[in-house]
């Protein structure tokens, strides 16, 4: 009976103050949409940037042999360090906590197929290179494998853009292309991937061949660079230190000479993004919550008006024995109901927008906003807090009315 009385009273208030109630609910709805969409866009943007970052590889370190900057054991500085595949093999043996791959490249080789001539970058490496660099073969193809290296096969793996330039919409796997007038069999095409970072161009426009084949074809011995990836990302600094020690011992330079081998630790970017986007999401949530607070103030104002209009009713209830706590709970429940209605409407609008947004084709630029559990939990928590605060003070005022004074004022 009490709950029916409560709902009847609330509906009566809504009918008497239709415009004011509608504007109040609209304020909560708009605030909910602001909070949820801002946080959702923050998460979508983070997912997009992280996906682009993973296109280069996850927690890898790229190393370039350079020149010494410190004298060592009677040897002067400025000596050029040249790394070979034997050095990479030594790193594999002495540092089992990580995996390694050398890379050689060439930029002036010509690819020819029928009337199409292109000069892409050719990257020569080992099979593990693809796993570390997130180079995934599209269905029906493969990357170069160990047998290709052992037999020095003339096989090539194409970036998806290079494949399109050479073959268009035709099937490429199993076809032959000419690399500097030498026939190479296409064994795979890279699956399209997002990639923002690079150190020698995007993978989509490259050709990848076995390093053994490259050395035999172009008489190359020295690696342009090598990459490594610790099995546990937290061990990357320790692995990096050991790499310097092993190479310093083999090439006679100071292990503390960071100029001898230049390194780019991509895991540092992951740490930066974790801090940056945590702060960024919090900032967006705060900005959106300001709008929701304004809606909460509107709810509080309308409840103060309701208390004023129902002063006589409150006085009668108190006079006949109703406890102040019951009066307080009644008005607080009305406030939370209005807040909940506005919140539900806001979430429905948000879900509708999130369903339509992917059709706009903007994912490449701003990502796709996501209604993750974090978005829903953040919005729900803010709604609950604001609803409680907005309803507490009017409800408390109603419960503290003196029955005699309330009946006189009415």
CA distances, 233 to each of 204, 228, 237 (Å): 26, 11, 9
C-alpha of 390 from chain center: 35
Given this model, what pLDDT does residue 32 score?
A: 82
Q: The tokens 């010494």 sit on which residue?
A: 68
Given this model, what pLDDT does residue 211 score?
A: 94
Q: Is the dihedral of CA 401, 403, 404, 406 positive or negative?
A: positive
Q: The tokens 């054991």 sit on which residue?
A: 73
Given this model, what pLDDT does residue 252 score?
A: 94
With contact defined as beta carbons under 8 Å apart, do 231 and 99 qualify? yes
Given this model, what pLDDT does residue 85 score?
A: 93
Non-local CB neighbours of 15 within 8 Å, separated by 6+ positions: none
Given this model, what pLDDT does residue 215 score?
A: 92
Given this model, what pLDDT does residue 129 score?
A: 96
C-alpha of 1 from chain center: 52
DSSP string, 353-382: HHHHGGGG--HHHH------HHHHHHHHHH
Rg of the chain over all Cα atoms, to the nearest angstrom: 34
pLDDT one digit per residue (tens) for the chain, 410 residues:
455 666 666 666 666 667 777 777 887 888 888 888 888 888 888 888 888 788 888 899 999 999 999 999 888 899 999 999 999 999 999 999 999 999 999 988 899 998 899 999 999 999 999 999 999 999 999 999 999 999 999 999 999 999 999 999 999 999 999 999 999 999 999 999 988 778 888 999 999 999 999 999 988 889 999 999 999 988 999 999 999 999 999 999 999 999 999 999 988 877 787 788 888 878 877 877 777 787 778 777 777 777 777 777 777 777 777 777 777 777 787 778 878 888 888 889 988 998 898 888 777 777 888 877 777 777 778 778 887 887 788 878 877 777 666 566 55
Given this model, what pLDDT does residue 1 score?
A: 42
Given this model, what pLDDT does residue 14 score?
A: 63
DSSP structural state of residue 161: H
Backbone phi and psi for residue 41, each to the nearest 5 degrees, phi listed first = -65, -35
The SS3 of residue 186 is strand
Q: Residue 218 pairs with which residues in a beta bridge?
A: none
- Find the length of the chain: 410
End-to-end CA distance of the chain: 26
Q: Is 285 exposed, middle or buried (0-12, 13-18, 19+ CB in 10 A)?
A: buried
316-344 CB burial, b ≥16 within 10 A, e <16: ebbeeeeebeebbebbbbbbbbbbbbbbe
Alpha helices in 203-310 (DSSP H): 211-218, 236-251, 267-309
């Amino acid at each position: 009976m009490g709950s029916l009385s409560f709902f009847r009273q609330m509906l009566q208030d809504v009918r008497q103050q239709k415009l004011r109630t509608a504007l109040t609910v609209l304020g909560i709805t708009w605030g909910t949409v602001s909070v949820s969409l801002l946080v959702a866009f923050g998460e979508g943007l983070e997912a997009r940037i992280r996906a682009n970052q993973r296109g280069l590889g996850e927690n890898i370190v790229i190393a370039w042999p350079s020149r010494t900057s410190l004298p060592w054991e009677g040897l002067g500085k400025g000596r050029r360090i040249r790394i070979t595949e034997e050095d990479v093999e030594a790193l594999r043996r002495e540092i089992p906590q990580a995996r390694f791959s050398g890379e050689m490249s060439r930029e002036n080789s010509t690819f020819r197929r029928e009337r199409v001539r292109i000069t892409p970058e050719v990257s020569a490496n080992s099979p593990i290179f693809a796993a570390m660099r997130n180079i995934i073969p599209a269905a029906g193809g493969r990357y170069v494998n160990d047998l290709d290296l052992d037999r020095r096969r003339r096989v090539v793996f194409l970036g998806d853009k290079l494949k399109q330039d050479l073959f268009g919409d035709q099937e490429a796997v199993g076809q032959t292309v000419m690399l500097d007038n030498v026939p190479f069999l296409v064994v795979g095409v890279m699956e399209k991937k997002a990639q923002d970072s690079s150190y020698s161009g995007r993978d989509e426009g490259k050709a990848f061949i076995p390093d053994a084949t490259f050395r035999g074809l172009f008489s190359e011995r020295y690696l342009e660079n090598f990459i490594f990836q610790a099995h546990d990302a937290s061990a990357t600094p320790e692995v990096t230190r050991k790499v310097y020690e092993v190479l310093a011992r083999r090439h006679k330079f100071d292990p503390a000479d960071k100029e001898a081998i230049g390194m780019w630790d991509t895991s540092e970017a992951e740490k930066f993004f974790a801090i940056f986007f945590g702060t960024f999401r919090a900032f967006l949530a705060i900005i959106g919550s300001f709008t929701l607070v304004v809606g909460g103030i509107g709810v509080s104002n309308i409840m103060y008006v309701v208390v004023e209009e129902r002063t006589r009713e409150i006085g009668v209830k108190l006079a006949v024995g109703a406890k102040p706590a019951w009066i307080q709970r009644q008005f607080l429940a009305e406030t939370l109901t209005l807040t909940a209605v506005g919140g539900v409407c806001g979430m429905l609008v948000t879900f509708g927008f999130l369903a339509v947004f992917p059709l706009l084709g903007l994912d490449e630029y701003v990502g796709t906003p996501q209604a993750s559990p974090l978005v829903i939990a953040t919005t729900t928590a803010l709604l609950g807090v604001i609803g409680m605060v907005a309803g507490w003070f009017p409800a408390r005022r109603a419960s503290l009315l003196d029955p005699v004074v309330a009946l006189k004022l009415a």
